[in-house]
Chains A and B, each alone.
Chain A
């Protein structure tokens, strides 16, 4: 069955770079697109960006200058890197399958990231 699982550090210092990994199983990254979505505590959902099945990417313009999404198809992993973190980047970060860039039909459990010194 399709599964996604996020991993990464729970605590990041302000101004530092966040690195997260989404490990997928039950699907091929060369025929599926995967997005990153985040949710600050008690708040709504923000789409961050997508890596398409062909390896191309699209980002939310609000954070585009700080964000990079890449992948390693041999390891079935998708990576998120975001620099210049601030306290407002504290959130639960999810990866999700995003068929043809539409809805999100499979989600990971999420990883909580706190930005604090």
Chain B
């Protein structure tokens, strides 16, 4: 199975700041990576697919980058509604696997 190591596990930032969340795959996943946002008590919502493609309706302050085994999610101009847990997910190989999540809070 491909292991997805996500960091940091938690993150506290101020409104308007830029934050980065990292995801490291245990092997090359050829940009077959998605990012999700999960707000408390809700189901996850797709933000980014193919490592850097923005899902329809997602604000442009979210962006994804990376290749090979290293990927990142960047949130510009942090807003209060961005408080959530973020997960990465690889779909290069089965079983589909997720990172352990990054909990983002506002300072």
C-alpha gap A35/B44 in the complex (Å) = 14
Number of contact residues on B: which range applies? Answer: 20 to 34
Q: A44-B87, A47-B98, A61-B95 are in contact. Are A103 and B34 (CB under 8 A)?
A: yes
Q: Which of A89-117 contact B (CB under 8 A)?
A: 94, 96, 101-105, 107-110
Which of chain B's residues has its CB closest to A107's CB? Answer: B43
C-alpha gap A61/B89 in the complex (Å) = 17
- Expressed in whole angstroms, the minimum distance between the Cβ of A105 and any Cβ of chain B is 5
Q: Does chain A have a CB within 8 A of B62? A: no
Q: A58-B94, A105-B55 are in contact. Are A45 and B46 (CB under 8 A)?
A: no
C-alpha gap A58/B95 in the complex (Å) = 9
Chain B residues closer than 8 Å to A61, beta-carbon distance:
95
Most buried by B among A94, A104, A105: A104
- Expressed in whole angstroms, the minimum distance between the Cβ of B26 and any Cβ of chain A is 16
Chain A residues closer than 8 Å to B32, beta-carbon distance:
102
Contact A107 B44 (CB under 8 A): yes
Q: Does chain A have a CB within 8 A of B30? A: no
C-alpha gap A61/B95 in the complex (Å) = 8
For A47, give its contact among B43, B49, B96, B101 (CB under 8 Å).
B96
Contact B95 A47 (CB under 8 A): yes
Which of chain A's residues has its CB closest to B98's CB? Answer: A45
C-alpha gap A108/B34 in the complex (Å) = 18
Q: Does chain A have a CB within 8 A of B10? A: no
C-alpha gap A47/B34 in the complex (Å) = 14
- Expressed in whole angstroms, the minimum distance between the Cβ of A20 and any Cβ of chain B is 15
Q: A104-B44, A104-B46 are in contact. Are A47 and B97 (CB under 8 A)?
A: yes
- Expressed in whole angstroms, the minimum distance between the Cβ of A80 and any Cβ of chain B is 16
Q: A44-B101, A109-B43, A110-B43 are in contact. Are A101 and B87 (CB under 8 A)?
A: no
Chain B residues closer than 8 Å to A44, beta-carbon distance:
87, 98-101
